[in-house]
Amino acid sequence: MTGYTRFFAMIATSTVVMYGLMYLNTYALDHVFFSQTRMWMAIYMGAAMAIVMLSYMLGMYANRGLNIAIFGGAAVVFAVSLYLVRSQDTVADVAWMKAMIPHHSIAILTSERATLTDPRVQSLAQDIIDAQRLEIDEMKALIADLGGGPSATPEVDGK
């Protein structure tokens, strides 16, 4: 494997790993859905990594023209994927719900597992947990109804 091939493989692998890592803070495995938003985020992080890593390793990569092309290409990929995250141009009904379910799941995880002592904050956290669970169930049902996934059954999260 040539140096540049290894570099591109490293960036691609890291981008895929970053996409997966974004789901580690979901509350339940059945809250993990493919998310275009997270994909665009992983891609812009991979592009930024390509720029940073190549900058640090320029001594290992002697082809000046290819280095400039990598910097330019990575900057374009970064800009396009950042635009797609910020604009949500590619995200329609089902894709939006599939992105929102993990987002809501994070709210459940942080609200349920935080060390809260003030009764008002505890009450707010419980309200958030209850609302997010209801909304996740509603989104799963809508996804199934719109043909975007398997039939959803209301979750109970072990409760």
Mean pLDDT in residue range 87-93: 94
Could you please report the per-residue DSSP string of the chain? --HHHHHHHHHHHHHHHHHHHTTTT-SSGGG----HHHHHHHHHHHHHHHHHHHHHTGGG---HHHHHHHHHHHHHHHHHHHHHHHH-TT--HHHHHHHHHHHHHHHHHHHHHS---SHHHHHHHHHHHHHHHHHHHHHHHHHHHTTSSSPP----TT-
Q: Which of 127, 78, 86, 80 is nearest to 107 (CA)?
A: 127
pLDDT at 154 over 60: no
Give the rounded percent of residues in the chain with a pLDDT score beyond 70: 92
- CA 35, CA 47: separation in Å to the nearest integer? 18
- CA 97, CA 23: separation in Å to the nearest integer? 15
Q: Which of 57, 53, 50, 56 is nearest to 72 (CA)?
A: 50
- Give the pLDDT confidence of 136-151 residue by residue, as tens digits: 999 999 999 998 765 4
Neighbours of 34 (CB within 10 A): 12
Give residues with Cβ within 8 angstroms of 16, minimum separation 6.
Answer: 42
- Give the pLDDT confidence of 9-23 residue by residue, as tens digits: 999 999 999 999 999
- CA 3, CA 157: separation in Å to the nearest integer? 47
